[in-house]
Chains A and B, each alone.
Chain A
C-alpha cells in the first residue's frame, strides 16, 4: 500500500482482521503507487520526489513492528528509590512499569482508569504506585502484581494533574483542575484530616518538602502556595509571574528552596524564607512542563515543549547542558536517587534515560570535540548535524525514528538504534581521513 509517507506492507495471514504491518524503507515522502514484483520479493514505489525505489519486501516481513512505550503521549514518569523501576503513565489511559536498566516492561499494562492518566508516583518503599487521571480519581497499584489496591480515591471535581507520595510514604497529595489540593491517608485511602486546600481556578502540580513538613502547589494564576502538613495552615505565597500557569514545582534537598516551571518558558529558583525568586532559568523556547532537583543538590533538570531537556547549576542558575533526542514536548523529568540519571517522558510516546555526568561534560560553547559534537547533535533531513552545522552521521531513513544517541543511555521502545562513540574514538568532520588505517 502506498501512502503519504512511504510504503506499508500488511501481513494478512493468519487473519486479515489482525493484520500487522511494517513500513518499508522508512519515511519516503508521498508514494503515489506501490507495486509488487512478480516473485513477491520486491516492491517498487513511485514517489512524488520523482524517484522510484525498489524495496526488499522479504526483509520487511521479518522486521519488528514498532512497539513504543505507550500508545499515546507519556504524561509522567517516576523512578523508584533503588533506581531499578521506572513507572510511566499516558494519554492511552494506562500505567506501565519498566525495568530501568533494560527498558523491558515488567508487567502488562495497568488498566482501569477511564480517562487520560496525567501523573504517577512510586511509594518510597517501592511497593506501590499512585496514579492520577482525568477521570477525577487517584488509584493505587501493587508494583509486584500490578493489581489495584482498594477503591479509587474520589473527591476531586476536575482532572487530576499531579499526585505525589510524601517522603515517609504515609500521605498522598493530589492537585486538580478543580483548583483544590487533596491530602489522602495511604493506609486507609481516605481523605486526611487536613485539606483540601484551595488554589486558583486550577492546581496543576504538587510536592512535599523533604521533611514532609510542607506541601506546595502551583496554580494557573502564577501562584505557588505553601501549607504546613501538621496544621493545614498556609505559610505564604510565592508569585511566579502574572498570567502564567505554574506547571511544575520541586523542593531542593535541604528544603530551603523551590524550583518552578511554567508557561512563560522559564524555570525559577525561589528562596522560601526570603519569599523571593533568586534565579530565573531562561533558555527553553516553549513551556517548561516539568522540573526536578537532583538529590545531591547540584543539578536542576527541566523538560520543555521545545522537545529538549536542560540541566542547570542550582547555585548559580547557569545552564549546564541541553539534551536533544525527543521529537515532541518533554512532559516529565525525574532524577534517580543517586543523581546519576534522569528519566524523561515525552509526547512522542517514548521514555528516555540520560547520563547526567556525561551530559554535564558537554561544552555549551562548541569545542573541536567530535564526541561532544555527537552528543549535542540534532537530526535534520536524515543527518545528525553538529551545533556548527557540520554533518556528523547520515542515518538511513528506516532508522531515523529509533535513534538513541548519547548522553541518552536508554530509550524505552521495543526497537531502537543505539549510536555511540567507540573505544577507538571518533574521526569526524574535517578529521575524517584519519579513519583510514589501510
Chain B
C-alpha cells in the first residue's frame, strides 16, 4: 500500500503540468508516459482503452523527472540549499522571502520568512541544521534560527552593496558573505561578530565558498580568476592561475578540486596548485555549479 502511494505521488507530480491544465489528462496523457512497471500503471492501465501508446528507445524510463514540485514563491527563485539531514530545503526568491520546505511532504514547514530587505539572492543551510543564512539585495545578511526554538533572525550589517552569495563553514562556526561592494566578510555565526573583511581588487564578488577544511574561502568575480584567501588573516593564498576567468566557485567535498564556470564552460581545477584540469563545454550559459556529495 505504501509503495502504491509513493508511486502515485511520483505519478501525479511528474505529470502535474498536464493535470493542472486539463484533468482528463491524468488518464489521457499521464498514464501512457507512466513507468510500465509501476503499481499505478499496472492498476489503472487494464481499466482503460483507447489510450495513445508510447514506446521508448534508448531512454531509461522517466530519466530525471521531477519527483516533487514546490510552487508558492511569488517570483524567480534565486537559490536553494538542503539541511544536513536532507529533511528541509531552504529557498530564497525575488519575492523577498526565504521559505523552508518539508522534503518528505513537499509542504512549507513554516510561514515565509521575511526580513524586509528586498530580493533574496542567496541562501545557505548550516550543517548544524540550526541556521539558514540569507543574502539580500539591500546588502543585509540574515541568520534565521530554524532550530527547535525558532527564536527569530539576526541581521548582520556591514555590506554596502547587494549580497550575492552566503556560505557557512563545515563546522557552522563561520559564515561568509560576498557582495557587490567588492568585499567578502567572514562572520562568527554564533555571535554575529564580523571577523575579517577581504577586499577583492577585481570588483563585485559573485560567489563565495569555504574550502572543506575551513582554512580558505574561494571567491569569484565575473570574468576573473578564482581567488583563495586565508579566513583568519584575509590574505590571498593564491589565485587559480590557469583556471580561466570564472563566474562561479565550488570545492569538491574531498577538497581536491575546484569548480568554476565562465559563460558556457564549466572549469575544473586542482585546489592545491590552482591549475586547470578540465574544461567542459556546455553550449548554454551557466548560472551555477555544484559538486555532488560523493564528488
Indicate which residue in A56, A391, A399, A434 contacts B21 across the interface (CB closer than 8 Å).
A391
- Given contacts A2-B288, A432-B24, whether A59 and B79 have CB atoms under 8 Å apart is no
Q: Does A239 belong to the interface (CB within 8 Å)? A: no
Bound CA–CA A24/B62 (angstroms): 10
Complex contact A436–B64 (CB within 8 A): no
The 6 closest A-B pairs by CB, nearest first: A63-B63, A394-B18, A24-B64, A427-B50, A46-B77, A60-B64
> What class of interface size applies to chain A in its complex with B?
35 or more
Instruction: How many A-B residue pairs have C-beta atoms within 8 angstroms? Tell me.
Output: 271
What are 7 A-B interface contacts by the 8 Å CB criterion? A47-B77, A51-B73, A64-B63, A67-B58, A415-B58, A426-B50, A428-B52
Complex contact B65–A35 (CB within 8 A): no
Main secondary structure of the interface of B (DSSP, over half): mixed
Q: A4-B287, A59-B64 are in contact. List 9 more A-B contacts (CB 8 A).
A: A8-B282, A32-B76, A35-B80, A39-B293, A50-B71, A382-B18, A433-B24, A436-B27, A436-B47
- Nearest to B248 among chain A residues (CB) is A1
Residues on B with C-beta less than 8 A from A64 are 58-60, 63
Complex contact B67–A396 (CB within 8 A): no
Interface string of A392-411 (1 = CB under 8 A from B): 11111111001000000000
Q: Does A379 belong to the interface (CB within 8 Å)? A: no
Chain A interface residues toward B at CB < 8 A: 1-5, 8-10, 12, 16-17, 19, 21-26, 30-40, 42, 44-57, 59-60, 62-64, 67, 374, 382-383, 391-399, 402, 413-422, 424-428, 432-438
Complex contact A394–B15 (CB within 8 A): yes
Complex contact A62–B60 (CB within 8 A): yes
Residues on B with C-beta less than 8 A from A44 are 80, 82, 89, 91
Chain A nearest CB from B254 CB (Å) reads: 12
Bound CA–CA A377/B76 (angstroms): 32
Chain A nearest CB from B102 CB (Å) reads: 12
Complex contact B48–A54 (CB within 8 A): no
- Given contacts A64-B58, A415-B57, whether A393 and B288 have CB atoms under 8 Å apart is no
Bound CA–CA A438/B49 (angstroms): 10
Complex contact B58–A33 (CB within 8 A): no
Interface string of B121-157 (1 = CB under 8 A from A): 0000000000000000000000000000000000000
- Given contacts A1-B289, A3-B285, A394-B17, whether A417 and B49 have CB atoms under 8 Å apart is no
Chain B nearest CB from A60 CB (Å) reads: 4
Residues on B with C-beta less than 8 A from A416 are 56-59
Complex contact A435–B28 (CB within 8 A): yes
Q: Which of B80, B280, B285, B290 has the most CB of A within 10 A?
A: B80
Residues on A with C-beta less than 8 A from B70 are 51-54
Residues on A with C-beta less than 8 A from B83 are 38
Indicate which residue in B18, B53, B57, B293 contacts A38 across the interface (CB closer than 8 Å).
B293
- Given contacts A10-B280, A33-B78, A394-B25, whether A422 and B52 have CB atoms under 8 Å apart is yes
- Given contacts A393-B28, A398-B64, whether A50 and B290 have CB atoms under 8 Å apart is no
Bound CA–CA A399/B47 (angstroms): 25
Complex contact A438–B47 (CB within 8 A): yes
Complex contact B81–A16 (CB within 8 A): no
Q: Which of B20-42 contact A (CB under 8 A)?
A: 21-22, 24-25, 27-30, 32-33
Q: Does B69 belong to the interface (CB within 8 Å)? A: yes
Q: Does B74 belong to the interface (CB within 8 Å)? A: yes
Residues on B with C-beta less than 8 A from A419 are 32, 52-54
Complex contact A37–B82 (CB within 8 A): yes
Complex contact A402–B67 (CB within 8 A): no
Complex contact A2–B286 (CB within 8 A): yes
Chain B nearest CB from A212 CB (Å) reads: 40
Chain A nearest CB from B234 CB (Å) reads: 27
- Given contacts A394-B25, A426-B50, whether A52 and B69 have CB atoms under 8 Å apart is yes
Bound CA–CA A47/B76 (angstroms): 6
Complex contact B33–A399 (CB within 8 A): yes
Q: Which of B237-295 contact A (CB under 8 A)?
A: 257, 261, 266, 268, 277-278, 280, 282, 284-295
Chain B interface residues toward A at CB < 8 A: 14-15, 17-18, 21-22, 24-25, 27-30, 32-33, 47-71, 73-86, 89, 91, 93, 95, 101, 103, 106, 257, 261, 266, 268, 277-278, 280, 282, 284-295
Q: Which of B47, B55, B77, B268 has the most CB of A within 10 A?
A: B77
Bound CA–CA A221/B76 (angstroms): 52
Chain B nearest CB from A162 CB (Å) reads: 31
- Nearest to A60 among chain B residues (CB) is B64
Indicate which residue in A39, A52, A414 contacts B77 across the interface (CB closer than 8 Å).
A52
Q: Which of A54, A402, A435 has the most CB of B within 10 A?
A: A54
Chain A nearest CB from B151 CB (Å) reads: 25
Complex contact A422–B69 (CB within 8 A): no
Indicate which residue in B59, B85, B261, B292 contacts A402 across the interface (CB closer than 8 Å).
B59
- Given contacts A32-B76, A32-B78, A46-B91, whether A40 and B293 have CB atoms under 8 Å apart is yes
Residues on A with C-beta less than 8 A from B71 are 50-52
- Given contacts A52-B69, A57-B292, A399-B33, whether A394 and B21 have CB atoms under 8 Å apart is yes
Bound CA–CA A8/B285 (angstroms): 11
- Nearest to A438 among chain B residues (CB) is B47
Q: Which of A9, A21, A53, A63 has the most CB of B within 10 A?
A: A53
Residues on B with C-beta less than 8 A from A432 are 24, 27-28
Bound CA–CA A16/B265 (angstroms): 13
Complex contact B86–A16 (CB within 8 A): no
Residues on A with C-beta less than 8 A from B21 are 383, 391, 394
Bound CA–CA A281/B56 (angstroms): 37
Bound CA–CA A381/B15 (angstroms): 14
Residues on B with C-beta less than 8 A from A420 are 52-53, 55
Complex contact B261–A17 (CB within 8 A): no
Complex contact B261–A1 (CB within 8 A): yes
- Nearest to B74 among chain A residues (CB) is A50
Residues on B with C-beta less than 8 A from A10 are 266, 280
- Given contacts A3-B284, A23-B64, A32-B76, whether A394 and B59 have CB atoms under 8 Å apart is no
